[in-house]
Structure 1
Amino acid sequence: MNFFIVDAFTNEPFKGNPAGVVLLDKEIPKKLKQNIAKEIGFSETSFVLKKRKEFFIEYFTPVSEIDLCGHATIATFYVLHHLKLLESKKVLLHTKAGKLNIYISEEKIFMEQAQPKLGETIEKEKISKVLNISVDDFDTLPVQKAFTGLWDLIVPVKSKKILLNINPDLEYMKRFNDVASFHVFTLDESNGLCNTRNFAPLYGINEEAATGTANGALFYYLYKHNIVKKDKVYKIIQGESLNRKSEIFVTFDGKIKVGGTAKIIFKGQLLDF
């Protein structure tokens, strides 16, 4: 089995969000996939198997399987495109979150996300204790759950300075076990639509440098709150707090699509088990 280490949502090495990508030539047990993901050690590792002209991907963090991962999907299809293993510019992907279309161009790969929806709002006083910030540090937009394959908690703060200085209580955050992550953002960003940070300690990820699914959920939240327009591509910045700046491109045309480029860093081979 060939495997790759890929930095997603960047065209620079050692920026963006790293993912493991394992190309399967046959099905292997889930326990083995989990052990491989733990050994590789990145926030997510994807395992992709081609059946006829369609692709099936499973995603594993170091501690558990998850339904969908945006940056690992971008990394996977960048590898497949690089190896000339794709037969068309539109590919059907099967995930635990459902069937999704992948769109390939020379510059970027876009993934379609699951049908978006918004969930309940949460009191800012409650979230301020988790993030160790003042209630006055929040933007006027609500703290609200949003979904494009996973439920994320979207948290608006007033400024980039506040965002980059957040030091959350990660153990307290784990008690919110009905969301995959806390996705904190500010519209105070001159080089893009917004700047974000993503915390998912429940899945063994204290902070992630680029999060495709959560930024898709954020974009739908912003669309429903009249901040962004339909059919226009916007750039979201993430990862500056980790010195791994990422650029995530998002649009909504009835479906949320999240995209970007990637950089292959290492290639190797997993021995037979």
Structure 2
Amino acid sequence: MKTLNKLTKSSYTIETNVGILSITVNNDIIFMEQTAPVFKDVISKETFGYCFDTSKIDNQYDIQIVSTGLKDILIPIESRSSLDALQPNFEEIKKVSSDYHVVGFHLYTQTDDQITCRNFASLYDIDEESATGTSNGALACFLYKNSEVKKLSYVFTQGYSLDLASEILVKLEANANDEIEKVFVGGEGYFVSEKELEI
């Protein structure tokens, strides 16, 4: 809508299944509010033995289900090269996703200056996705909660394995007790194509 010049204001609201959320437009950057994080089950890495090579999982962080609107399993991977080389078994990912009632798996790895992700949602016929807002919103909340340094803004990259590189921005608002109260996910979009559907 921004590309088509159909946005005339700097702020909007949208009604979703989880409530009314805000959207802000600042030049080419658009942010959408997510719901406050919910931290759910911590899962053993043995659960994923048939999904991919679990020897590449980074044991520094737990594997946990986190939601800022949709539930994902957040899985840390030891290095960028391991993440890039990872060969997912989509049928097994579908089974585990169904068992844990999640949308999918969000795998990530950190270097000093970058957090890179891959997202598998085969339960919903999306074997791999190039940019996932809710998943990265959940990941930002997880990293904030589990890191000594409490950052309020994060940049995630995703989609390299699909040759569709994306940059996802996340902003957090927290109170004096370091409890996250608001989550905003955004970035720049670009127009790909236009289609007409008959209803």
TM-score (norm 1): 0.65
Q: Which residue of 1 aligns with 2:142?
A: 221
**Pick aligned residue for 2:90 from 161, 167, 170:** 170
Q: Which residue of 1 aligns with 2:125?
A: 204
Distance in 2 between residues matched to 1:207 and 1:128, nearest whole Å:
19
- Give the 3 Å change call, closer, same or farther, for CA 243–82 of structure 1 in structure 2: closer
Q: Relative contact order: is structure 1 or structure 2 higher (C-alpha 8 Å, sep ≥ 6)?
A: 1
Total equivalences in the alignment = 189
Question: Aligned-pair distance for 1:227?
Answer: 5.7
Distance in 1 between residues matched to 2:67 and 2:80, nearest whole Å:
24
**Percent sequence identity over aligned pairs:** 36
Question: Aligned-pair distance for 1:189?
Answer: 6.2
1:138 aligns with 2:65: no
Q: Output the aligned Cα RMSD.
A: 1.7
Q: Which residue of 1 aligns with 2:183?
A: 256
Question: Aligned-pair distance for 1:265?
Answer: 2.0
**Pick aligned residue for 1:184 from 91, 107, 132:** 107
Name stretches of at least 5 consecutive residues in structure 1 with no aligned partner.
Answer: 1-78
- Give the 3 Å change call, closer, same or farther, for CA 127–245 of structure 1 in structure 2: same
1:234 aligns with 2:154: yes
The CA deviation string for residues 50-91 of structure 1, in whole angstroms up to 9 with x for no partner, is: xxxxxxxxxxxxxxxxxxxxxxxxxxxxx1x33343342111
> For structure 1, which segment, 81-90 or 142-151, has the greater mean C-alpha deviation from structure 2 after superposition?
81-90
Distance in 2 between residues matched to 1:206 and 1:242, nearest whole Å:
11
- Give the 3 Å change call, closer, same or farther, for CA 132–144 of structure 1 in structure 2: same
Question: Aligned-pair distance for 1:234?
Answer: 2.0
Distance in 2 between residues matched to 1:270 and 1:228, nearest whole Å:
48
Name stretches of at least 5 consecutive residues in structure 2 with no aligned partner.
Answer: 174-180
Q: Which residue of 1 aligns with 2:194?
A: 267
SS of corresponding position for 2:138: helix
SS of corresponding position for 1:214: helix
The CA deviation string for residues 118-140 of structure 1, in whole angstroms up to 9 with x for no partner, is: 11100012224322331x64231
